[in-house]
Chain A
Amino acid sequence: MVKAKEYTCIGCPIGCPLQLVHKGSKITEISGYECDRGAKYAKQEFTDPRRGLSTTVEVAGARWKRLPVKVTGPVEKGRILEAARKIHELHVEAPVKLGQVLLKDLMGQKGIDVVACRSIERSG
Chain B
Amino acid sequence: MLGRMESTYDVVVVGGGPAGMGAALGARDSGADRILILDREGEAGGILWQCIHSGFGLHYFREELTGPEYAQRFLEKVIDHDVDLATNSYVSGISVDSDGTKRVRVMNEQQGLVSINTKSVVLSMGCRERTRGSIRIPGTRPSGILTAGLAQKLVNLKGYLPGRRVAILGSGDIGLIMARRLILEGCEVVGVFEIMPYSNGLARNVVQCLDDFDIPLHLSTTVAYIHGRDRVEKITVAPVDKNFRPVMRRARDIKCDTVLLSIGLIPENELSLSLGIQMDVITGGPRVSSTLETSMPGVFASGNVLHVHDLVDFVTRESMLAGQFAGEWAQGVRRPEDNIRLLPGDNVRYCIPHTLSPEREHTIYMRCKAAMKPCRIRVGNLMEKKLRFVVPAEMIIFKIKPDLLDKFHGDSLRIDILPATKGKRHGKG
Contacts of A7 in B (CB 8 A): 207
Evaluate whether A66 and B156 lie within 8 angstroms (CB atoms) in the complex, with A117-B68, A118-B69 already known. yes
CB distance from A94 to the nearest CB of B (A): 14
* Nearest-CB residue, chain A, relative to B180: A80
- Check A10 against B159 for contact (C-beta < 8 Å): no
Whether A63 and B43, one on each chain, are in contact in the complex, defined by CB atoms closer than 8 angstroms, is yes
Least CB distance, B297 to chain A, in whole angstroms: 38
Counting CB contacts under 8 A, is A23 at the interface? no
Least Cβ distance of A88 to chain B in Å?
8
Q: Which residue of A lies closest to B153 (CB)?
A: A64
Q: Is the CB–CB distance between A51 and B212 below 8 Å? A: yes
Q: How far is the CB of B259 from chain A (nearest CB, A)?
A: 23
Q: Are B158 and A14 in contact (CB under 8 A)?
A: no
Contacts of B238 on A, CB cut-off 8 Å?
none
- Cα of A118 to Cα of B211 in the assembled complex, Å: 29
C-alpha spacing A34/B203, complex, angstroms: 15
Q: How far apart sit A97 and B43, CA to CA, in the bound complex (Å)?
A: 16
B53 touches A54 (CB 8 A): yes
Question: Is A14 in contact with B373, judged by CB distance below 8 angstroms?
Answer: yes
A10 near B66 with CB under 8 A, answer: no
Complex Cα distance, B188 from A81, in Å, reads 13
**Contact residue among A14, A56, A63, A117 (Cβ-Cβ distance under 8 Å from B203):** A14
A117-B52 contact given A34-B388, A77-B212, CB 8 Å threshold: yes
Nearest A residue to B203 via CB reads: A15
User: Please, which residue of chain B has its CB at the minimum distance from the CB of A13?
Assistant: B394
Q: Is B332 on the interface with A (CB-CB < 8 A)? A: no
Query: A118 CB to closest chain B CB, in angstroms?
Result: 4
B140 in the interface, Cβ–Cβ < 8 Å?
no
A68 to B, closest residue via Cβ: B52
Is B391 an interface residue, CB under 8 A from the partner? Answer: yes
Known: A58-B159, A65-B158. A8 touches B71 (CB 8 A): no
Asked if residues A55 and B52 are in contact (CB atoms below 8 Å), the reply is yes
In the complex, per-residue mask of A91-124: 1 if CB is within 8 Å of any chain B CB, else 0: 0000000100000000000000000011100000
Closest A residue, CB atoms, query B52: A68
B157 within 8 A of A: yes
The listed residue (A13, A55, A118) touching B68 by CB distance below 8 A is A118
Known: A14-B373, A15-B207. 17 other contacts (CB 8 A): A15-B203, A54-B52, A54-B54, A55-B52, A55-B185, A56-B52, A56-B159, A64-B158, A66-B156, A66-B157, A66-B159, A80-B184, A81-B183, A98-B72, A117-B66, A117-B69, A118-B72
